[in-house]
């Protein structure tokens, strides 16, 4: 700042001012000193007022007193800021993904710099580049004590405490959806339209299987009793976990949109035939049973969010619809709604395409509050508790919670 002021003073000496330079210099110096003193005093007062009274674990972004969402606005919706912190990403990077796995929040930049944060207090666990720039990190999942991700043709295992890569195995084919595993096997969907089962201990392929119609496999879920995969043609197929023996098959009229959600004995999924389905897996031997299907007003392209009693489905061009999980009846719809952020008892917190938070009552089907979320451009859908995780593309992240 001194350099700028001095430069202006020097340029002024080059004018045709008839006053002696020494006098002008003295007058200019006094003016500069007074201005600097006033600026310093004002800044000190502003800083004191801006940071006074902030809780120790709740701090605004460094160099700014601006919150991601104003506490006053949140007060209207009976929410409070649990913590807010900046992520250590570079100025030319942007935050691309925000997701929740167990007790951590993972933030991934457009250059694959991944930050792991403690969900409760926002403290950083690690920050590390987990894949080369240009190769997207796909399907980050937690299994036991390993983070598993896919980059191109490689299955990568990461230490969840340090972010260090434990192993990377090139399977020799492009993988098209997130990998899953149980205690014995990895299950991968290849560009060859095959489900590949690889032994977990050494990544040797044991078997492969395809749908009868040779359609692309779009999602997989697995446990110790079965493997279930969905296809772009609308098939949902269950096989034995250790061999390509079919247990049952369910066929929808359109491709399955996004991952299948397993909830106890129930499978919930969206189809491009405009329907949301609940199919239960019952009996021994295992067999399928269609419990309900709910027809929406659009071709679906995302999986539903499933909580204790409600299924939340995004319908392109319409908004977010809440469906009773028990009988498939509609509860309410938020026009322009994009996703569920969290649920607190009978309240649902919905983010809209115009960056507004809408709070809905699932019992009365009425809107309770709305809050301006203008600066929020990234979020994580949380179906495990009532906390809300939001961020902007520059890496400012906040955790909100309902006020009891």
Rounded to whole angstroms, the Cα distance separating 259 from 267 reads 10
Q: Give the residue from 260, 215, 205 showing the smallest Cα distance to 238.
A: 260
Please tell me the predicted confidence (pLDDT) of residue 115.
96
Determine the Cα–Cα distance for residues 128 and 147; give it in Å rounded to an integer.
13
Taking only the tens place, the pLDDT of each residue in 229-269 is 999 999 999 999 999 999 999 999 999 999 999 999 999 99
Structural domain count of the chain: 2
Write out the two tokens for 353.
């395409």
Q: What is the pLDDT of residue 304?
A: 98
Domain range holding 24?
2-49
β-bridge partners, 310? 324
Q: How far apart are CA 294 and CA 330, in angstroms?
A: 8
> How far is residue 252 CA from its own chain's centroid?
28
Say yes or no: 7 and 81 in one domain: no
Q: Is residue 38 part of a domain?
A: yes
Does residue 75 belong to any structural domain of this protein? yes
Report residue 90 as tokens.
Answer: 């570079």
For 285, phi then psi, to 5°, come to -65, 160
- Give the pLDDT confidence score for residue 174 in this predicted structure: 94
Q: What is the pLDDT at residue 66?
A: 82
CATH code where residue 367 lies: 2.40.10.480
37 is a domain residue: yes
Residues of the chain with pLDDT below 70 are 1-65
302 in a domain, yes or no? no
pLDDT of residue 79: 97
Q: What confidence score (pLDDT) does residue 322 get?
A: 98
Burial 374-392 (b: 16+ CB within 10 A, else e): ebbebbbbbbeebbbbbbb
- Which of 203, 204, 235 shows the shortest CA–CA distance to 220? 235
How many angstroms separate the CA atoms of 88 and 67, rounded?
A: 17
Please return the burial class of 361, using the count of CB atoms within 10 Å of its CB with bins 0-12, 13-18 and 19+.
middle
Task: Confirm whether 63 is domain-assigned.
Answer: yes
């Amino acid at each position: 700042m001194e350099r700028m002021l001095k430069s202006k003073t020097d340029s002024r000496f080059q004018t045709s001012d008839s006053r002696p330079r020494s006098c002008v210099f003295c007058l200019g110096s006094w003016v500069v000193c007074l201005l600097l003193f006033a600026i310093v005093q004002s800044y000190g007062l502003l800083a004191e007022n801006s940071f006074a009274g902030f809780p120790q674990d709740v701090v605004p972004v460094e160099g700014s007193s601006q919150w991601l969402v104003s506490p006053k606005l949140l007060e209207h919706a009976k929410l409070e800021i649990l913590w807010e912190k900046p992520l250590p990403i570079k100025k030319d990077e942007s935050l691309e993904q925000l997701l929740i796995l167990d007790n951590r929040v993972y933030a991934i930049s457009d250059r694959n710099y991944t930050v792991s944060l403690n969900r409760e207090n926002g403290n950083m666990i690690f920050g590390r580049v987990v894949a080369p720039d240009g190769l997207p990190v796909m399907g980050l999942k937690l299994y036991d004590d390993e983070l598993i991700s896919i980059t191109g043709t490689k299955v990568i295992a990461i230490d969840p405490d340090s972010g260090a890569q434990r192993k990377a195995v090139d399977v020799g084919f492009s993988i098209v959806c997130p990998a899953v595993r149980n205690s014995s096997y990895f299950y991968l969907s290849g560009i060859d339209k095959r489900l590949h089962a690889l032994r977990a201990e050494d990544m040797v392929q044991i078997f492969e299987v395809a749908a009868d119609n040779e359609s692309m496999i779009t999602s997989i879920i697995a446990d110790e009793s079965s493997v279930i995969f969905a296809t772009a043609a609308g098939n949902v197929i269950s096989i034995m976990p250790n061999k390509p023996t079919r247990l049952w098959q369910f066929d929808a009229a359109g491709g399955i949109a996004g991952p299948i959600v397993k909830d106890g004995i129930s499978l919930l999924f969206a189809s491009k035939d405009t329907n949301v389905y609940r199919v239960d897996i019952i009996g021994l031997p295992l067999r399928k049973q269609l419990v309900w299907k709910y027809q929406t007003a659009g071709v679906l392209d995302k999986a539903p969010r499933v909580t204790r009693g409600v299924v939340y489905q995004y319908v392109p061009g319409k908004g977010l619809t809440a469906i009773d999980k028990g009988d498939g009846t509609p509860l309410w719809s938020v026009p322009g709604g994009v996703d569920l952020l969290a649920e607190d008892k009978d309240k649902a917190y919905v983010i809209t395409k115009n960056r507004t938070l809408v709070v809905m009552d699932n019992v009365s089907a009425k809107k309770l509050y709305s809050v301006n979320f203008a600066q929020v451009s990234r979020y994580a859908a949380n179906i495990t508790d009532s906390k809300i995780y939001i961020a902007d593309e520059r890496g400012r992240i906040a955790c909100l919670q309902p006020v009891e």
